Amino acid sequence: MGDAAGRQVGAFEAVAQARVGRSQVVAELAAERGQADLAAVGAWLTRAWETCSRSAIPLIRRALTARQWAAFDQIHGRRVGADAPRLLPWLLENADPQTTASVLATLPEPARAAYTTQWQPAHAALDRWCSRA
């Protein structure tokens, strides 16, 4: 796998690890609040992201060439399309600054600017857990 593709897979791996942590927090908060259904969802998400980190990413590194990863990246980008303003801030929510910068570096400049000035601030303003009630 080439350097650029390797960096992208590394960024994907870091995002998956950040999602594991976030899913665990969701499960713990829900359990504390007596929300068993939400706690179960958080636990399931944690297992799913852990599986991704443990199994899928090493397989990607072994099996895909740089060209194949680039093709996947292109197709995935088209499929995400209009959902990027909601999906990307969620994926990067707990990522460290280096991971965020690495992921954003794969985007065209207008998308990076939109992430910084619009998408991420709008995501941060959401009160998904009714904590500001």
Render 40-100 in DSSP notation, one character per residue: HHHHHHHHHHHHIIIIIHHHHHHH--HHHHHHHHHHHHHHHGGGHHHHHHHHTTT--HHHH
The neighbour count for residue 103, using CB atoms within 10 Å, is 21
pTM: 0.55
Reported as a pLDDT band with limits 50, 70 and 90, residue 41 is confident
What number is the average pLDDT over the span 101-117? Answer: 89
Tell me the CA distances in angstroms from 121 to 1, 18, 45, 71, 97, one per residue in order.
Answer: 34, 19, 24, 30, 15
Chain mean pLDDT for the chain: 76
CA distances from 67 to 5, 32, 61, 98, 112 (A): 8, 46, 12, 25, 24
